[in-house]
Structure 1
Amino acid sequence: MRSDEHLLLDLETGRAESAARQLYRGYQRELFGFACHRLGDRALAEEVVQDVFTRVWRNAASYDASRASVRTWIYGILRNAIVDAERRRSRRPPAARYGQDDALVGIDEPIERTLLRWQVADAMARLTAEHREVLHLGHLGGLTVAEIAETLGIPPGTVKSRTFFAMKNLRLALEELEVTP
């Protein structure tokens, strides 16, 4: 199997379709999970992930291995695509947004688990955008401190600090909501 860097180079050659397919298979689930959690809307998350792979394909020539790993570069594209999607969504009338969270509730999911998920989402919403972002990238996206720092363009120490305070504030918010693990 070719490395991600080689696959990006292949996007510019005659092997573009095969390279795109391999990159998609390698990252689609991970990116979809991250986007779905950030956006709270499966359909919008699917749309965002498709947009990310289109951007990866179009911008493969701009990838610079000395600046970031392929994974970090793709997460940077995902982050921008999510911001774009959130902007578009905020311009839609409230009636068009009604019921988006309901789409995430599984039919067979126990009510306690659904309630806990809502409470955690409420607690996460109480965090600053910066704190939510490092938690999403680290805990849901699986990025390392160094990868988060590259993606956000901040020092690794800042990532660690934000993560520490994000977890502290999340615990406090969960306590305020009387959520027990």
Structure 2
Amino acid sequence: MHRSSRYKDDGDAEKRLSIAKKISAGDERGLREAHDLWHSLLYNIAYRALGSKEDAEEAVQLTFFGAWRSRHTLKVTDSSLPGWLVGILKNTIADVRKLRYRSKLIFDKSIEEATQSALSETFDVALRMTLVNELSSLGQPRSAIMWLSLVEGLSSQKISERLNVPLGTVKSHIRRTIPLLRSRLADILERK
């Protein structure tokens, strides 16, 4: 039977069984092998569900972290591993969607509150307007995370707790977004 597929399919039941056994036994090599075989499949499912390369990649990464943490739940058969990974991915996608929704609600509420009160006195009007526009263009959950960090002055830990997002995810978004904002706001900052 010929399968036209964009994904790597090892076609080897013994290999799948071996990988499942390694993961179940706590052997990290099994997780690496599973990643090599099914990353593309999981990424494409996540991308179709989430519509964002960054969110899809993060969902796949969280799926493999989740797989490692819950490896004791894996039923070791030659066909269980791909379905088990897809199941974890589906739960991860649902979590990302909930996070986006919560982040949007918090962000919208924060924007509304910010329009009623002045932002920090250290920002002039042009910088405030540019910052609000730039944060709005980031997409969720990055915009909510950056708003809580830059405008409300919350620590990464507090943001993690407030949004119910892993601390590493919050720190990663902040670390990747600060240089982007810095370059976008450079003109205004240079005029000060």
Normalised-by-shorter TM-score class: 0.3 to 0.5
The TM-score normalised by the length of structure 1 is: 0.47
Task: Report 1 or 2 for greater relative contact order, CA contacts < 8 Å, sequence distance ≥ 6.
Answer: 1
Query: If you compute each CA radius of gyration, which structure gives the higher value, 1 or 2?
Result: 2
